[in-house]
Amino acid sequence: MKKALVFGVLFCALCLAMQAEPADGLKVFISVDMEGISGVVTSEECSRSGKDYDLFRRIMTEDTNAAVRSAFKAGATEVWVRDSHGSARNILPDLLDRRAILVRDWSGGHKSMMEGIDETFDAVLFIGYHARAGTPDAIIEHTMSGVVTDSAVNGVSLPEAGWNALIAGHYNVPVVFISGDKAICEQAKDMFGEVETVAVKDAIGAAAVCLHPLEAQDKISEGVEKALKQLDRYKAYKFSPPYTLVLKLKTEKQVYNGAFYPGAKRTGDWELTYRSDDIMEIVKAFIWMRK
């Protein structure tokens, strides 16, 4: 009788332990840009030749750490950080949370800012993101490069967050959190519906009202933990096929060159169109047509 009672108690304890801590845990992917990092207001601050670049790459690392720490606190067992700005060698490896896996430099492949993402991840976080090209009252707004004036898939104009969410969506992984300026937070809500956002600054023309970096990092920590503890709220970002990409560029030379991409057609003044039933082919076209 006693043995049966002891066995029953141990069995119940084991069941409770299994419920409290899932065997697989969470696997989280973090893509980090720089224009939307705490305090950044000019392109010079994001450039390796800029006087204050070293300061802001440190703050970029600290904003990232705020997200990494909260991801582990929320139950993550593996966190990947993709350095997604400029050279893709901005985050300071020695200051990054030692538990994170860091992806640096460009592979040359089409996943670009999402290099390393696959179907094994449970959630995506965007840190330091910015609004799409042409957005009013936005800090350093652009889309991938200065040559793109607009890029749309199935009639939806996309910022970099939209493109990267579609790549994640291809693997059925939802974007659950984004930090950056107020403009990209609003665009993210329009695109994704359910998404946790933290605006670390708000534009006044070319100026910005900025949170102190430590205050911004506290808010990032809170937002990430909240998002990861409610994963059932979020859905992977997807469009229905067929897909139509309409890309508008700044110069005749760029459009002329882009029209040589197999399947691309010139459809207007400095406008290119490409169609496919495969979203990753659309992503590849977007990468190469604007070169």
CATH of the domain at 262: 3.30.1360.130
* Residues paired with 103 in a beta bridge: 82
Quickly state the pLDDT bin for 276 (edges 50, 70, 90): very high
Q: Are residues 57 and 117 in the same domain?
A: yes
Domain assignment present for 138: yes
**Helices then strands, each counted (H, E), the chain:** 7, 12
pTM of the model: 0.91
Return the pLDDT at 156. Answer: 98
Domain assignment present for 6: no
Domain assignment present for 8: no
Domain assignment present for 4: no
Q: What is the pLDDT of residues 136-167, one digit of tens each?
A: 999 999 999 889 999 999 999 999 999 999 99
Q: Are residues 195 and 283 in the same domain?
A: no
CA–CA separation, 217 and 63 (whole Å): 6
Q: What is the pLDDT of residues 192-208, one digit of tens each?
A: 999 999 999 999 998 99
Mean pLDDT of 16-34: 71
What's the whole-number average pLDDT of the chain?
93
Characterize the bridge pairing of strands 101-103 and 76-83: parallel
Handedness of CA 11, 13, 15, 18 (dihedral sign): negative
Return the pLDDT at 21. Answer: 41
**Count of domains observed in the chain:** 2
What are the distances in angstroms from CA 146 to CA 5, 61, 269, 290? 71, 25, 18, 10
CA–CA separation, 229 and 206 (whole Å): 36
Mean pLDDT of 42-48: 97
Q: What is the pLDDT of residues 52-109, one digit of tens each?
A: 999 999 999 999 999 999 999 999 999 999 999 999 999 999 999 999 999 999 999 9
What is the rounded (10 degree) CA torsion for 92, 94, 98, 103? 40
Residue ranges of the alpha helices (H) in the chain?
2-20, 53-73, 160-170, 182-192, 213-228, 252-258, 279-289
Tell me 78's DSSP state: E
Which residues belong to the active site?
A: 142
Return the pLDDT at 6. Answer: 39
Mean pLDDT of 252-267: 97
Tell me 115's DSSP state: T
Return the pLDDT at 18. Answer: 41
Work out the percent of the chain whose per-residue pLDDT is above 90: 90
* Residues paired with 273 in a beta bridge: 246, 265
Return the pLDDT at 291. Answer: 84
Classified as helix, coil or strand, 75 is coil
Q: Are residues 123 and 264 in the same domain?
A: no
The H or E element spanning position 197 is: strand 196-204
Please say whether the beta carbons of 169 and 282 come within 8 A: no
Domain that holds residue 47: 25-239
Q: Are residues 141 and 202 in the same domain?
A: yes
